[in-house]
Structure 1
Amino acid sequence: MYYYSPGENAFFPEELKQDYIRAGSFPKDTVEVGDDVWLEFAGNLSPKGKQRIVGTDGFPAWGDIPPPTKEDLISAAEKRKSSLMQIATAAIAPLQDAVDLDMATDAEKALLLSWKKYRVLLNRIDLGAATDIDWPDLLQKPIARTTVSRLLSTVTLTIPLSTRWADCD
């Protein structure tokens, strides 16, 4: 058996009721519900496009997930942009090292240029238009998809198995 709190829209197992009471965290508005109610609303995934809500009768029910707000969309876009910038920066670093040390192949130079262009395009994105962002695509806009695949296959680092880290000083 479980207890359901409409105020918290949460379930509490009967076995832990006394622990919740001792901790002062057992809601006063709880109602007893059977395992079948817990299983439907907490033990399984919610139906597609639905979320658990408090029904008009005070028991759990399924309600439509509201569409994201503009703030939600902007926040998600900020996270995506940040993640993509980190990926681009991580890809640029070793390629830039190769160029700086005059060790870069033509393929590495081309790949570095593509990553840098991609990062500039990412940086220019206006997140205020969170519903209509034209995200740059590294594999299509800066250079062709097949070229990137070919270039990536040439950029490898090989360290002989006999190399010890102490030998790298």
Structure 2
Amino acid sequence: MSYGYSAKTNIFYVIEDKEGYAEFGNWPDDVKSISDEIWEKFSVQGPPGKMRGAGKNGLPCWVDIPPPTREEQIEAAERKKAQLMAEAAKAIAPLQDADDLGMAMVEEKSALISWKTFRVKLNRIDTSVAPDIEWPEVPGVA
């Protein structure tokens, strides 16, 4: 099998499948044939902090991974907040049941207060200030 690379799309293409790509309008006009050595080097995960990009010569090269955009940082913070809220809810439910039934042991009552405090602090986090967020400490994890 032989491969080509498009700097415009930053994608490898199987040269033998050109007709099929072209039939659906998916064959870029800048595809260059590449050696097996180049394909093997750049068809895998890049070195830490690097990703595949296009060099000035139109061939693949390793480039720095750009820092996340403001929107990506906010989305990541929102995902983290939701994940931590779900974790807190899961931990609180059986502890609250034990407390509601008057069956909670001292350790369970203490854990319930810790988890509820964590959840209140977590709920107050404004994700729009990401990445400058001070996340509360997860109970029992230190």
Band of TM-score, shorter chain? 0.7 to 0.9
| Deviation sequence 1:118-143 (CA, Å, 0-9, x none) | 00011111222212211100347xxx
Q: Distance in 2 between matches of 1:27 and 1:94?
A: 57
Instruction: Give the structure 1 partner of residue 104 of structure 2.
Output: 104
| Deviation sequence 1:33-55 (CA, Å, 0-9, x none) | 1111111111x321222121111
Q: CA deviation at 1:15?
A: 4.4
Q: Which amino acid aligns with 1:90?
A: K
Identity among equivalent pairs (%):
48
Q: Which amino acid aligns with 2:65?
A: I
- Provide TM-score, normalisation by structure 1: 0.74
| Deviation sequence 1:140-168 (CA, Å, 0-9, x none) | 7xxx95xxxxxxxxxxxxxxxxxxxxxxx
Q: Which amino acid aligns with 1:55?
A: G
**Aligned ranges for residues 42-53 of structure 1 at < 5 Å?**
42=43, 44-53=44-53
Q: Which segment drifts farther, 14-23 or 102-111?
A: 14-23
Instruction: Give the structure 2 partner of residue 33 of structure 1.
Output: 34
Instruction: Give the structure 1 partner of residue 137 of structure 2.
Output: 137
Q: Which sections of structure 2, spanning at least 5 residues, go unmatched? A: none
Q: Distance in 2 between matches of 1:139 and 1:96?
A: 15
The answer as to whether partners of 2:118 and 2:139 remain within 8 angstroms in 1 is: no
Considering only CA atoms, is the larger Rg found in Structure 1 or Structure 2?
1
Q: Which structure is higher in RCO with an 8 Å CA cutoff and minimum separation 6?
A: 2
Query: Would you identify which runs of 4 or more consecutive aligned residues in structure 1 move more than 3 Å?
Result: 14-19, 21-24
Q: Which amino acid aligns with 2:93?
A: A
SS in 2 for 1:52: strand
Aligned residues: 141
SS in 2 for 1:137: coil
Q: Which sections of structure 1, spanning at least 5 residues, go unmatched? A: 146-169
Q: Which amino acid aligns with 2:79?
A: K
Q: Distance in 1 between matches of 2:59 and 2:78?
A: 37
Q: Distance in 2 between matches of 1:91 and 1:13?
A: 51
CA-based RMSD of the aligned residues comes to 2.0
